[in-house]
């Protein structure tokens, strides 16, 4: 059986499974559509949260991000896991106790203000829509790479599948498909990683293999890697730079993670407050299975590439063009890898032209520049099974895993978007007397509308794929996180404070990003060049989230000091959110 | 909500626990893995230093322990202060 047929079979089976689950888990009420009827087991919810959270970026790109930079990009590992500590202790249990369906609903009720509700809806929509674009394009690309369809066709297939289970099942359908998607993606990620770790270190656990002895050289794996890299003019894998910026970026990712509405609403699905606490722990267990493996995949894949390009070591000859492994040819076709024999010696020299002393070394050895001219970081995960010489079905599994990662996150985001529209705008603002049945219908219509919008934006991405994520995290950190946290931890915080805090966080963070990345990310409209010399206090736009959060907290504090305290019943509401007793009452609603 | 004073004691106990957990959270990730890494660079781990291990494995493991410890401790506090869900 050829690889294409295998890919179609494995991906087709996984899709049939998702649709089967959707039919089994149809939503019959708004409670089921928004919160899966609050009947989800905390371990199951943890697994669904892990799939909800881990996007195409985690699955496909993160190992590559770490591999090409090394220590400094540990920020992604810590930032995207450490946010769960904040969520588990500062938000999730209390919001579950509040017992409603959406994040803007808490903001609107707690701050007794429709304005606060609408501002929260706007923040949610900006965060979730920017985030979903990346998922849809990611799914389209995964399709086109593995299933030999155009990425446009791929995007339509992906949208159609999400449409079926999200519109039909709402949160209930999404929860159980996310569980299936988690299993697909973690198996796909782990199998090649285990084999590569065995080949390089003899240790079957990649996270341990990373710190083990390399069987080829008898030295620790990281020492071998550092040696090869520095000999070829690259920076050392384990050495870092600018620790304060690293810390700031990690903080930005952590606060942003804790403030993402599509993750927060997952904790509304468990039966009890105590379950919400456990569930956050389980979510991190399932996330950690991938996140502890990713840095090992990164380092090992990088080492594999180096030894493939320099089979005799750096002192010997580079790899001959005809000796390049098969996966090299396969992936060259996709444009993710590209070689160019600049000096015409029939060999491919891979090194860092701008590294210290490399110009002299190149002149001495007759190199005419780096000849591995294209090297996309996503290749490290995508080609992993081929690098480890694993059978075709593992390659097919990577295709299914990448799609599972993209689709599960997209579905979670779409639910956050549609529930904000149907529940917070249509029901709470425009038509409070709407019947449950009509609201459920509107929830489905909003979901369908959100999918159409996401598909459109996926087909016509505004040309800022990489920056989009920075915007989503920066805004989640600067708007929703502080507002939610103050709503729980400060009884004195009033509506004026919360509203102005959110607005200042939203506007200042957006303007700071737009200043360097272009207004609404339209290239050429940026007012300052995106270089370190122009940054305010040296803070890059991607690191701005915590600053926005501090501004939000500060503005909220001073505005609320200057205005009247919230009414008694709101203070009682805060009291009741703080204690778990009585959470069951929300079930009947 | 009859047991008002009890709720206050419960809430301060919660805040104390959260504070302790978040101090550990910050020390491990921002401290040992990043800013304090030079201080512990003498401790070798698998070809590199302890700070690198904390950055790529250790802090995630500590986060896990923290959340489970918090959940266990809070669920116990709920019962001690009579505010658990029946």
> What DSSP string describes A109-154?
HHTT-HHHHHHHHHHHHHHHHHHHHHHHHHHHHHHHHHH-S-HHHH
Q: What is the pLDDT of residue A145?
A: 72
- Residues A256, A473 contacting (CB under 8 angstroms): yes
- Residues A66, A298 contacting (CB under 8 angstroms): yes
Q: Averaged over A171-179, what is the pLDDT? A: 90
How many angstroms separate the CA atoms of B59 and B27, rounded?
Answer: 10
**Tokens found for residue A367:** 């190199």
Which residue ranges make up each domain of chain A?
3-299+389-588
Q: Averaged over A149-166, what is the pLDDT? A: 82
Query: What is the chain A residue with the closest CA to B36?
Result: A243
The residues on B that touch A, with CB distances below 8 Å, are: 1, 7, 10-11, 14, 18, 21-22, 25, 29-30, 33-35, 37, 45-49, 52-53, 55-57, 59-61, 63-64, 66-68, 70-71, 74-75, 78, 82-86
Q: What is the pLDDT of residue A143?
A: 77
Q: What is the pLDDT of residue A586?
A: 45
Where is pLDDT greater, at A332 or A488?
A488
How many CA atoms are closer than 13 Å to the CA of A179, on its beta-carbon side? 16
Confidence band of A466 (pLDDT split at 50, 70, 90): low
Going from the C-alpha of A438 to that of each of A426, A442, A447, A483, the distances in angstroms are 10, 6, 14, 31
- Cβ-based neighbours of B1, under 8 Å, separated by 6 or more: A572, A575, A576, A579, B7
Query: What is the chain B residue with the closest CA to A222?
Result: B47
* Residues 274-333 in A contacting B (C-alpha not used; CB under 8 Å): 274, 277-278, 280-281, 284-285, 288, 291-292, 295
Query: What is the chain B residue with the closest CA to A75?
Result: B55
Give the range with max mean pLDDT: A159-168, A317-326, A560-569.
A560-569
Range in A67-81, A438-452, A529-543 the model is least confident about:
A529-543
- Residues A178, A52 contacting (CB under 8 angstroms): yes
Residue with token string 């920066």: A474
- Residues A499, A552 contacting (CB under 8 angstroms): no
Confidence band of A589 (pLDDT split at 50, 70, 90): very low
Residue A326 has pLDDT above 60, yes or no: yes
Using CA of residue A379, residue A381, residue A387, residue A389, what is the dihedral sign? negative
- Residues A149, A497 contacting (CB under 8 angstroms): no
| B23 Cα to chain A: minimum distance (Å) | 11
Confidence band of B1 (pLDDT split at 50, 70, 90): very low
Percent of chain B with pLDDT over 70: 93
Residue A290: closest CA among A557, A80, A554:
A80
| A202 Cα to chain B: minimum distance (Å) | 14
Residue A107: closest CA among A538, A483, A491:
A483
- Residues A465, A151 contacting (CB under 8 angstroms): no
Residue A316 has pLDDT above 80, yes or no: yes
Where is pLDDT greater, at A331 or A571?
A571
Question: Which H, E and C letters describe A277-306, residue by residue?
Answer: HHHHHHHHHHHHHHHCCHHHHHHHHHHHHH
Q: Averaged over A313-335, what is the pLDDT? A: 84
Residue A580 has pLDDT above 70, yes or no: yes
Question: Which H, E and C letters describe A351-396, residue by residue?
Answer: CCCCCCCHHHHHHHHCCCCCCEEEECCCHHHHCHHHHCCCCHHHHH
Question: What mean pLDDT is reported for chain B?
Answer: 90
**Tokens found for residue A518:** 């272009």
Q: Averaged over A542-551, what is the pLDDT? A: 93
- Residues A67, A299 contacting (CB under 8 angstroms): yes
pLDDT, tens digit (0-9, with 9 covering 90-100), for A424-437:
888 888 888 888 88
Confidence band of B4 (pLDDT split at 50, 70, 90): low
Cβ contact, residue pair B56, A77, below 8 Å: yes
Residues in A closer than 8 angstroms to B1, CB to CB, are: 572, 575-576, 579
- Residues A254, B59 contacting (CB under 8 angstroms): no
Q: What is the pLDDT of residue B64?
A: 97
Residue B3 has pLDDT above 50, yes or no: no
Residue A475 has pLDDT above 50, yes or no: yes
Q: Given its phi and psi angles, is residue A3 left (phi above 0), alpha (psi -120 to 50 degrees) or beta?
A: alpha
Three-class secondary structure of residue A179 per DSSP: helix
The ipTM value here is 0.94
Q: What is the pLDDT of residue A435?
A: 86
Confidence band of A464 (pLDDT split at 50, 70, 90): low
φ and ψ at B49, to 5 degrees?
A: -110, 170
| A173 Cα to chain B: minimum distance (Å) | 27
Which residue ranges make up each domain of chain B?
15-80
Cβ contact, residue pair B85, A582, below 8 Å: yes
Residues in B closer than 8 angstroms to A247, CB to CB, are: 30, 34-35
How many angstroms separate the CA atoms of A464 and A428, rounded?
Answer: 34
Give the range with max mean pLDDT: A4-18, A150-164, A529-543.
A4-18
Q: Averaged over A154-175, what is the pLDDT? A: 85
Three-class secondary structure of residue B43 per DSSP: coil
pLDDT, tens digit (0-9, with 9 covering 90-100), for A2-50:
888 888 899 889 989 998 888 888 888 888 888 888 889 999 999 999 9
Residues in B closer than 8 angstroms to A243, CB to CB, are: 34-35, 37
Range in A91-105, A166-180, A321-335 the model is least confident about:
A321-335
Confidence band of B2 (pLDDT split at 50, 70, 90): very low
Size of interface A-B (CB pairs under 8 A): 151
Q: Which one-letter DSSP state was computed for residue A564?
A: P
DSSP lists the bridge partners of residue A348 as A319
Residue A218 has pLDDT above 60, yes or no: yes
Q: Averaged over A492-503, what is the pLDDT? A: 95
Q: What is the pLDDT of residue A109?
A: 93
How many angstroms separate the CA atoms of A238 and B52, rounded?
Answer: 7
- Terminal Cα distance for chain B, rounded: 15
Interface test with A, best of B16, B48, B76 (most A CBs within 10 A): B48
| A480 Cα to chain B: minimum distance (Å) | 20
Q: Which CATH class is domain A3-299+389-588?
A: mainly alpha
* Cα-trace Rg, chain A: 25
Q: Averaged over B32-61, what is the pLDDT? A: 92
Residues in B closer than 8 angstroms to A81, CB to CB, are: 59-60, 63
Give the range with max mean pLDDT: A53-67, A127-141, A528-542, B24-38.
B24-38
**Tokens found for residue A361:** 């070394």
Residue A585 has pLDDT above 60, yes or no: no
Q: Is B23 exposed, middle or buried (0-12, 13-18, 19+ CB in 10 A)?
A: exposed
């Amino acid at each position: 059986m050829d690889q294409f047929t295998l890919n179609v079979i494995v991906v087709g089976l996984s899709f049939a499974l998702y649709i089967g689950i959707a039919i089994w888990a149809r939503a019959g009420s708004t409670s089921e559509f928004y919160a899966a009827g609050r009947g989800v087991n905390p371990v199951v919810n943890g697994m669904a949260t892990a799939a909800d959270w881990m996007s195409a970026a985690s699955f496909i790109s993160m190992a590559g991000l770490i591999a090409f930079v090394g220590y400094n990009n540990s920020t992604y590992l810590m930032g995207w896991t450490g946010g769960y500590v904040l969520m588990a202790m500062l938000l999730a249990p209390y919001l579950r106790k509040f017992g409603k369906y959406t994040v803007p609903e808490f903001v609107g009720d707690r701050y007794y203000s429709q304005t606060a509700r609408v501002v929260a809806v706007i923040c949610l929509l900006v965060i979730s829509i920017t985030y979903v674009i990346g998922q849809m394009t990611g799914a389209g690309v995964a399709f086109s790479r593995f299933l030999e369809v155009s990425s446009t066709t791929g995007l339509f297939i992906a949208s159609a599948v999400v449409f079926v289970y999200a519109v039909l099942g709402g949160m209930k359908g999404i929860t159980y498909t996310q569980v299936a998607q988690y299993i697909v993606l973690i198996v796909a990620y782990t199998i090649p990683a285990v084999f590569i770790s065995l080949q390089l270190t003899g240790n079957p656990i990649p996270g341990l293999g990373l710190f083990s002895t390399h069987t080829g050289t008898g030295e620790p794996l990281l020492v071998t890697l550092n040696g090869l890299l520095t000999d070829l003019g690259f920076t050392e894998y384990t050495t870092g730079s600018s620790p304060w910026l690293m810390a700031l970026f990690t903080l930005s990712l952590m606060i942003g993670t804790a403030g993402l509405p599509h993750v927060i609403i997952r904790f509304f699905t468990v039966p009890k407050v105590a379950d919400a606490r456990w569930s956050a722990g389980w979510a991190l267990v399932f996330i950690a299975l991938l996140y502890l493996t990713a840095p090992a995949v990164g380092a090992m894949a990088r080492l594999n590439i180096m030894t493939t390009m320099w089979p005799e070591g750096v002192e010997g000859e580079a790899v001959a063009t005809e000796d390049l492994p098969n996966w090299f040819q396969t992936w060259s076709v996709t444009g993710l890898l590209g070689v160019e024999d600049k000096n015409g010696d029939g060999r491919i020299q891979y090194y860092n032209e701008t590294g210290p002393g490399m110009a002299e070394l190149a002149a001495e050895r007759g190199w005419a520049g780096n000849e591995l001219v294209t090297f996309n970081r996503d290749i490290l995960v995508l080609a992993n099974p081929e690098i480890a010489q694993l059978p075709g079905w593992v390659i097919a599994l990577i295709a299914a895993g990448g799609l599972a990662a993209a689709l599960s996150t997209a579905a979670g985001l779409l639910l956050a978007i549609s529930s904000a529209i149907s529940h917070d705008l249509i029901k709470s603002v425009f038509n409070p007397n709407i019947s449950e049945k009509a609201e459920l219908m509107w929830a489905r219509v909003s979901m369908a509308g959100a999918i159409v919008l996401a598909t459109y934006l996926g087909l016509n991405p505004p040309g800022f794929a990489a920056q989009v994520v920075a915007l989503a995290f920066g805004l989640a950190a600067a708007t929703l996180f502080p507002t939610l946290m103050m709503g729980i931890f400060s009884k004195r915080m009033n509506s004026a404070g919360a509203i102005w805090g959110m607005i200042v966080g939203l506007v200042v963070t957006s303007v700071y990003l737009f200043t360097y990345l272009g207004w609404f990310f339209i290239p050429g409209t940026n007012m300052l060049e995106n270089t370190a010399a122009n940054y305010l206090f040296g803070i890059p736009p991607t690191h701005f989230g915590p600053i926005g959060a501090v501004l939000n907290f500060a503005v909220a504090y001073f505005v609320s000091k200057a205005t009247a305290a919230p009414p008694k019943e709101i203070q009682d509401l805060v009291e009741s959110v703080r204690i778990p007793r009585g959470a069951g009452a929300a079930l009947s609603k | 909500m009859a047991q008002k004073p009890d709720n206050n004691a419960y809430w301060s106990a919660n805040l104390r626990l959260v504070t302790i957990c978040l101090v550990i959270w910050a020390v491990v990730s921002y401290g040992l893995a990043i800013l304090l890494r030079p201080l512990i660079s003498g401790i070798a781990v698998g070809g590199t230093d302890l700070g690198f291990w904390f950055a790529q494995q250790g802090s995630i493991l500590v986060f896990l322990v923290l959340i489970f410890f918090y959940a266990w401790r809070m669920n116990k506090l709920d019962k001690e202060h009579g505010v658990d869900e029946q």
